[in-house]
């Protein structure tokens, strides 16, 4: 059977997976599957500020370096994730207790340190992650409190200072046509219009309750690419349960949504994990067996469906 990597090469797109560093280090089957099947990786948690932190203002890059070095050895595209987020940051950061000038220095120094370290080795960064609130407007976060809406601009500007990667805004619930998708579209449209250095949008596409119609995904991708932006599907998984009833329905949805996104102009598709045993969805009750490989790394029907979608 053809690999995902073979099919992606023929389609001139990247197909990737989020990487769990512990599995990467300890599980031979995991490493072999990742290298054989995918040509792109995202650091699942290793590049977030909290996991990177080593004491106040210190960094431990061992986990992140392992992901990047694995990608180097296997000629893989690297997505860095994520420079600015309202979660998983060190407790000592507490930007809401700081002056605007101090919070800005904190933000700048973090981005300069992390994005600067991987200049030339990370191909795309999720610079700002999940900044749009589910009910509209910017999410109330410590960064918004400290710096106001301008923190989004500054994050992209600081990343552009030190990185040659493509710079992305990434969010969930904005994959198809919805009020939140419109909010994200308005946000990035405004960034583009004002010359803020944003290069693309990441659509997470976690599916575990309601199916996002593939045609709506395609329409959203098209309107974002019409702005001159790249579009990546960044965190795709499809839990069996409320959204899809069984493996066959899961495979059909994977086929349809990947085909729709790629045909509309998305040039990278990343699943949020390699195998079902590493997925974050089942422990939270968000459906079962959501990925392309089962817990023993056997290819599931969804694997063949994605290969077919990329081969058409």
Which residue numbers are catalytic?
Answer: 130, 235
CA angle in degrees (0–180, nearest 5) for 33-214-231 = 65
Q: Is 265 helix (H, G, I), strand (E, B) or coil?
A: coil
How far is residue 292 from each of residues 4, 223, 235, 274, measured CA to CA in Å? 10, 28, 13, 7
CA angle in degrees (0–180, nearest 5) for 11-167-25 = 70
Which stretches of the chain are assigned E, i.e. beta strand? Answer: 14-19, 40-43, 77-84, 124-129, 166-171, 200-203, 206-207, 230-238, 268-271
CA angle in degrees (0–180, nearest 5) for 217-222-225 = 125
Q: Hunting for tokens 């459906």 — which residue is that?
A: 287
> Up-side HSE of residue 149: CA atoms within 13 Å toward CB?
8
In DSSP notation, 194-259 reads: TT----EEEE--EESSSPPPHHHHHHHHHHHHTTT-EEEEEEEEE-BTTTBSSHHHHHHHHHHHHH
Whether residue 81 contacts residue 52, with contact meaning beta carbons closer than 8 Å, is answered with no
CA–centroid distance for 80 within its chain: 8
| Tokens matching residue 71 | 């990608």
**How far is it, in rounded angstroms, from Cα 139 to Cα 141?**
6
Phi-psi group of 234: left, alpha or beta (phi > 0 → left; psi -120 to 50 → alpha; rest → beta):
alpha
């Amino acid at each position: 059977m053809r690999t995902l990597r073979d099919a992606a090469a023929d389609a001139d797109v990247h197909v990737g997976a989020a990487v769990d560093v512990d599995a990467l280090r300890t599980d031979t089957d995991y490493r072999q599957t990742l290298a054989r099947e995918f040509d792109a990786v995202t650091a699942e948690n290793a590049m977030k500020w909290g996991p990177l932190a080593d004491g106040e203002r210190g960094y431990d890059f061992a986990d992140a370096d392992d992901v990047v070095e694995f990608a180097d050895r296997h000629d893989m595209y690297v997505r860095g994730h994520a420079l600015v987020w309202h979660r998983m940051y060190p407790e000592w950061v507490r930007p809401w207790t700081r002056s605007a000038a101090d919070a800005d220095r904190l933000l700048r120094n973090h981005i300069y340190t992390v994005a600067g370290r991987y200049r030339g080795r990370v191909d795309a960064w999720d610079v700002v992650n999940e900044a749009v609130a589910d009910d509209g407007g910017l999410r109330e976060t410590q960064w918004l409190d400290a710096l106001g809406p301008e923190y989004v601009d500054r994050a992209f500007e600081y990343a552009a200072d030190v990185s040659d990667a493509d710079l992305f805004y990434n969010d969930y619930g904005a994959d198809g046509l919805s009020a939140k998708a419109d909010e994200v579209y308005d946000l990035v449209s405004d960034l583009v219009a004002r010359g803020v250095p944003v290069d693309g949008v990441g659509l997470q596409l976690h599916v575990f309750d309601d199916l996002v119609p593939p045609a709506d995904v395609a329409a959203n991708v098209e309107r974002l690419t019409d702005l001159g932006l790249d579009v990546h599907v960044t965190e795709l998984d499809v839990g069996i349960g409320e959204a899809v009833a069984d493996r066959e329905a899961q495979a059909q949805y994977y086929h349809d949504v990947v085909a729709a996104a790629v045909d509309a102009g998305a040039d990278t598709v990343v699943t949020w994990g390699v195998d079902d045993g590493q997925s974050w969805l089942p422990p939270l009750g968000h459906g079962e067996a959501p990925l392309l490989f089962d817990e023993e790394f056997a290819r599931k029907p969804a694997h063949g469906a994605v290969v077919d979608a990329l081969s058409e």
